[in-house]
Amino acid sequence: MIAVDTSVWIDALAGRESWQVDHLRQAIRRESPVALPSLVLTEVLQGIPDDRAHDRVADDLLRFVPLDLHGAADHLAAADLYRLARRRGITVRSTIDCLIATVCIRERVPLLHRDRDFDHLARVSDLVVVAGP
């Protein structure tokens, strides 16, 4: 199973090509489990202005394995992850990225992404990212 970040879903939905989008498409074609962090669902859907497209994309995304936050414990872990990165000289640009990483670490699911913050977080934590070609 892999989890897929917003950055990859947006590219896939926009028809932009990358090795990450290709990896996602292959996983879907092979019917490999694809996980969807709940925050990714929110980020993707908030950027779709057309109601019909929004509903269609929501229906499509809800088919994937949900990865939900587990209350205060995940928020505390995300704050600790952010602080750890800062101590190592890395400023993560998005709190949401720390929350997504925390869920992936907890569930031991590799993350497919196109966002350098996750590579930084992987260097200082147990986050596993899907490596490119």
Here the tokens at position 48 are 């779709």
pLDDT per 10-residue tile (average), the chain, 133 residues: 97 96 96 96 95 96 96 98 96 95 98 96 97 84
Alpha carbons 69 and 51: distance in angstroms, whole number: 26
Fold of 2-124: Rossmann fold (3.40.50)
Here the tokens at position 60 are 């499509």
Domain assignments of the chain as residue spans, ordered by start: 2-124
